[in-house]
Structure 1
Amino acid sequence: MPGFDPREPETYWGLFRRESRLAAVRRGLTITVDDPVRSPDGLALDWTVALDGRATRYTLLRWDDIVRARFPRSNGRRLRQVPALWWRLIRSGYLRPFRREARRFARVIIGVHLIYLFLVAFSLALATGLLALAPEATRPWVYLGVPPLAYAILALLMRMTRGKPFYVAHLVDDTAFTHDHAGGGDSRMRARLDAFASIIRGAEGKASEIVVIGHSSSSFLGLEALDRILARDPDFGRRGTPVSFVSIGSVIPWITLDPRAVETRDALARVAACDAIGWLDVRAKWDWLSVHQRNPLSASKLPAPRAHRPVEIHVRIDDLIEPRIIARRKWNLFRMHFQLLMSSRDPEAFDYVAFVAGPEPIHALIRRWRDVEEQPKGRAAAESPAD
């Protein structure tokens, strides 16, 4: 399950195929990725990856159409909705725990909104200054043109900052989606999660194991999909098909600290308490677009989690890419956010392709890494698969 991304799902297939080729060379493996096939209902994109003869069915659960309906929003909607959202968050007491639990991620989100505020003010000032150059005889009527001219300038500036390095439009609209979803205001996403739950549940008994991977915003959406399954079928995962959840680049506290996110917090608590579903959290402290300081339950002000819920592995950036590349990419926040979905340069480090398609089942990996966590600190540090 991808994050808040408007790109067609074939983009992810292309990324996976490219990184598979790199992983094959770096690790001395034989990896093949077949052509993708969209499901008849259009909700999934499937392909098969074979690693040394072992085939894994990879299904991308789609919500890019929902993202495109929300990003990019019109500037009129942003001008109406952004102040209302932040007024609500400030009044609810959200900001203090968000800044405490997220830190760098909170700086990015708050910083991007301050940039947006600056762009709005700059547009108004520039429009006023330009119209002040009009002949004196046209004043004061000429100033009636300030709002439409400022709106046009703002539209241009938002287009210019939509992509790197600022991603202003993307992160402002992503924030709006997250907090709309927290309040249950996004009916399309709720319906899509019901459909995702049916797809995931339908794989039970047909596969050797089921692994739900949630990247970025899907770290909480994946939990909600699994919680929907458990609500309908409390024995899911107990009938012989192991089930695991893997959160990568998690942003769970981003939504769960919102007082309105009752359903998401409840889903987090129920899935965390379900021992039939293994949970692995892949963390990277260098990823500014993830929340990784504490266990997501503790960070969400929920009761202390059970031991190893989730099991954590911490991935170092220099295991994934060369130092010269790190220096070039470190301020490209979205590119770094995707790095955990790519091949690693160190054949002993966490590698997404090898993780997904390798010979060891994910549920067995989670148990093995959990056992590493239980070892004395010195020994664990020496044997950790990610550090």
Structure 2
Amino acid sequence: MSKPFSHTPPGVSEPRTGGVARRHVFYVPGYDPEARSRYRLLFVRELTRYAKVFGQAKREIGRAEAGPLLSRGGPEEPLVQAWRVAAHRQTMGAETTYEVLLWDDLVARDFARSKFVSSVLLLAGTAHAIAAGKLVSFYKLHWKYGNVILYPFVMLLMLAAVAGAVAITVDAALGEGGALGLSLPALVTVPAGLLAGLALLAAMEAALNRIFFWQLLNDWVFNWQHGQGWRADYERRLDAFADHALARLAALAREETPPDEILIVGHSSGALTAVEIAARLIARDPLLGNTDGPSLGLVTLGSGLPLVALQPRARRLRAEIASLVTDRQLVWVDYGAPQDWMNFPGFNPAAELDLGLRPDAVVANPIIRSARFREIISPETYKRVRFRPFRMHFQFLMSNDRAGEYDFFDMTLGPRRLLDRVLDAEREDRARDLAAAPHG
């Protein structure tokens, strides 16, 4: 088996001394219309399973609390869902406050629009990606994600063909000389055929949801629109997240025992959101992450960042990424997995994006690592989920079956800082390589 990809940039930050007794996590979910109900349940379930797998006592998890309210053109809804996890004596685990930053209402709004409009947007976005050569770029980065991108486009064409065939068949059967012998005029048969085709599509709705057709269609459309600069609602939400995080961090700094580490963690499309939030926070408070305060970490899991960052008009995003890759007060770690269909494993934005960095710029981020799913998932589980793209994609947020470098709960709840975890694993890899090398 080939060695997992790994990259540590030359300007990586110097490790801090001391462990983490208290941590604050801002977690950003991906493009999910049910985030406010899904991630709390997933966290509690998987942490419980984690304790059983590794023979640990259960950790105390506080009740979920709604954060500040936003007016979104209707009833006010929470921007944040937060809970606390108590310190853990057995593992020396940190007391952790975990905040989920919510943007699922924007996703739900996309799902609520006309399916015809969504379909037209998909055709336009895919045609644009093909014409600009970006679909080829996505395939080169990870062929599995290329297939995921193309899947709703091909499915849409197939559905249109099937509905069209049904419409033509019904029109022919009802018309003159048709199989039903009714000889109805075209004024009747054509609308009847169209209605039959549309009825078939409506009858397939549940099946289409089970195979994630509309989820992937709307997700691709969102990324395309975002790359074109057409999502003002999303930009406003990013600003709201930054406002909230800065206010929260200022309040934490005034506490008697402030956190030792701040983590911004994003999964899937939320990895891109986490990058954008981190850039806004640092732009507004350049002292974040310095040695006088808590260490600042950015963790991107199963990221789809190239979907937006490679689009020609995404200049603001590339400027934000450029600001992060040279920031030595930030530790940015990107975890990917070749087994995951919906990420770009090993993608290095500092090397593969045109960021306009100066020739003398010292690149400090991101540190790139493989989650090594084959090592942390049991063979039985791996066989069961390897062809279930969404299940594999969510492994980043789930309990390991086996101990390994990638460990979501040790990373977010454990006693080590993010950079220490990564560098410790790197040293262990080198030691194993030296031990396995032939001597003589």
TM-score normalised by the chain length of structure 2: 0.79
Contact 1:119 1:157 in 2 (8 A): no
Find the residue that maps to 1:258 and give its secondary structure.
coil
Aligned to 2:186: 140
- For 2:35 and 2:378, the matched residues in 1 are separated by 29
Distance 1:144 1:320 in 2: 56
Match of 1:64 in 2: 104
In the other structure, the counterpart of 2:139 is 99
Distance 1:149 1:73, change over 3 A: farther
Q: Identify the residue that residue 15 of structure 1 maps to in structure 2.
A: 42
Name 1:156's counterpart in structure 2. Answer: 203
1:325-340 maps to which residues of 2 (within 5 A)?
A: 325-340=381-396
Cα 1:133–1:381 change in 2 (3 A) is: farther
Distance 1:81 1:347 in 2: 44
Question: Mapping of 1:351-362 within 5 angstroms?
Answer: 351-362=407-418
Query: d(CA) in 1 for partners of 2:436 and 2:102?
Result: 38
Q: 2:243 aligns with which of 165, 187, 198?
A: 198
Structure 1 residues 378 and 222: CA distance shift in structure 2, 3 A:
same
Q: Which one of 290, 298, 301 corresponds to residue 245 of structure 1?
A: 298
Q: Are positions 1:47 and 2:83 aligned together? A: yes
Q: Does 1:215 align with 2:267?
A: yes
Q: Give percent identity, aligned residues only.
A: 28
Q: Distance in 2 between matches of 1:369 and 1:270?
A: 27
| 3-state secondary structure, aligned to 2:60 | strand
Q: Is the 8 A contact 2:328 2:364 kept in 1?
A: no
Correspondence 1:115-194 to 2 at 5 A: 115-136=155-176, 137-141=183-187, 142-163=189-210, 166-194=211-239
Aligned counterpart, 2:22 = none
Residues 170 and 196 in structure 2, CA contact (< 8 A), matched pair in contact too:
no
Preserved CA contact (<8 Å) 1:46 1:60: yes
1:297 matched to which residue of 2?
A: 350
CA distance in 2 between counterparts of 1:228 and 1:327 reads: 41
**Count, aligned residues:** 379
What whole-Å deviation, never above 9, does each CA across 1:101-153 have from its counterpart, x for those lacking one? 23211112113321221112211111221232114221322113444433332
- Structure 1 CA distance for aligned equivalents of residues 323 and 199 of structure 2: 48
Deviation of the 1:301 alpha carbon: 4.1
Q: 2:325–2:364: 8 Å Cα contact kept in structure 1? A: no
**Secondary structure at the residue paired with 2:312?**
coil
Shift in CA distance, 159/266, structure 1 to aligned 2, threshold 3 Å: farther
Amino acid at match of 1:11: R
Q: Cα gap change, 1:351/1:94 in structure 2, threshold over 3 Å: closer, same or farther?
A: same
**RMSD over aligned Cα atoms:** 2.5
Q: CA deviation at 1:295?
A: 1.4
Q: Deviations over 1:280-299 (max 9, x none)?
A: 11121100111114313333
Question: Could you tell me which amino acid in structure 1 is paired with residue 225 of structure 2?
Answer: D
Deviation readout 1:41-75 (Å, 9 max, x if unpaired) = 11111111124143100000001111111125422
- The answer to whether 1:83 aligns with 2:83 is no
**How has the CA–CA distance of structure 1 residues 264 and 148 changed in structure 2, closer, same or farther, with 3 Å as cutoff?**
farther
Structure 2 gaps, min length 5: 1-27, 70-77, 177-182
Residue 211 of structure 1 aligns to a residue in which SS? Answer: strand
Instruction: Could you tell me which runs of 5 or more consecutive residues in structure 1 were left unpaired when the two chains were aligned.
Output: 383-387
SS in 2 for 1:214: strand
Report the residue type matching 1:346 in the other structure.
Answer: R
CA distance in 1, matches of 2:264, 2:426: 18
Q: 1:25 aligns with which of 49, 52, 57?
A: 52
CA 79–203 in structure 1, closer or farther in 2 if over 3 Å, else same: closer
Does 2:398 match 1:342? yes
Q: Is the 8 A contact 1:131 1:146 kept in 2?
A: yes
Once structures 1 and 2 are overlaid, which stretch shifts more, 225-234 or 167-176?
Answer: 225-234
Following superposition, the deviation at residue 329 of structure 1 comes to: 1.7
Structure 1 pair 51–207 and aligned structure 2 pair: CA distance change class (3 A): closer
Closer, same or farther: CA 293–318 of 1 in aligned 2, 3 Å: closer
Corresponding residue SS for 2:105: helix
SS at match of 2:369: strand
Q: Deviations over 1:325-366 (max 9, x none)?
A: 222222221111001101111134522112210111224324
Aligned residue number for residue 385 of structure 1: none
d(CA) in 2 for partners of 1:146 and 1:298? 54
Residues 47, 57 of structure 1: 8 Å contact kept: yes
1:322 aligns with 2:378: yes
Partners of 1:85 and 1:224 lie apart in 2 by 22
For residues 283-294 of structure 1, the aligned pairs below 5 Å read 283-294=336-347
Give the one of 222, 226, 229 matched to 2:278: 226
Tell me how far apart the structure 1 counterparts of residues 352 and 162 of structure 2 sit (CA, whole Å): 37
- The structure number with the bigger radius of gyration is 2
